[in-house]
Amino acid sequence: MQNETNGQEYAAETARSLGLQVAYAAAPFEAAAISKLLVYIDLLVLNEVEAAQLEIATGETVDALGIANVVVTLGAEGCKWVSNQGEKCFDAYTADAVDTTGAGDTFTGYLVAGLDRGMDMEAAIDLALKAGALMVTRRGTADVIPDLKEIQDHFGS
């Protein structure tokens, strides 16, 4: 879910009680909303500005929040994955960006979809970076999100 989702605390609590994992995209960022959910979140995805705002709001760095997996997107610089096993940075794929609207949502969607398909975190992040790189070469939002075949054709399997 993300911060425009209604009933976030109920949804997260229910998901946890059913044995589901909770993935949370912090956009649009609101410190009070995310602070209520920290105990339920298994995967937090946020951009570097939101990560800095969260650090100010909580007094904790993302690696000290107690969340199993945090992915901080860094735009054209790629992303950083912080887990209970350490930190790893991933470079972005080169793209001639014409419109970055929706890139974060595309990244997050592909990341979660990859994990749901059984990919490990590194493979899911790689897929999400490819999807985001292809997305920014197009004008528009939901109507231009690349499908998996387009990503595979563009980047190779």
CB neighbours of 24 closer than 8 A, spacing ≥ 6?
1, 2, 12, 34, 37, 41, 43, 44, 45
The active-site residue out of 42, 63, 91, 105 is 105
φ, ψ at 23 (rounded to 5°): -105, 135
105 is catalytic: yes
Helix (H, G, I), strand (E, B) or coil at 1: coil
Catalytic residues: 105
